[in-house]
A = this chain, B = another copy of it.
Amino acid sequence: MRQIKHPTIDQVELTDIMYALADPTRLEIVALLAKAGRKLTCGEIDLNRPKSSMSHHFKILRSAGLVETVIEGTEHMNTLRLEEIEQKYPGILSAVIKATANN
């Protein structure tokens, strides 16, 4: 059961996080993951875009260190790496999530 590679938290750069969150689609993915508070499959995050586009955005979220994806069967379960990011960059991600909630 091959798993996807993620950056370790010390490899996560602030500008990568900012970049990942600068796209409306990705910001929405992050908001949905935060709101759900549980593992979500890519399919559950339906933003009306083709699979390949969504996959692209997930890849960027992963490489920025924001999202962790674990393969379970045919599904890819995604979670926010909230605690880790908060530890390294306190307040940023939680504030962004709060900002997206008020919409």
Contacts and interface: CB of A to CB of B under 8 A. Distances in A.
Interface in A1-40: 14-15, 18-19, 21-24, 27
A92 interface: yes
- Counted per complex, copies of this chain come to 2
Nearest to A100: B14
Given A19-B22, A22-B19, A22-B22, A14 B92 contact: no
Nearest to A24: B15
A24 B98 CA distance: 25
Interface string A40-73: 0000000000000000000000000000000000
Contact of A92 (B23, B27, B99): B99
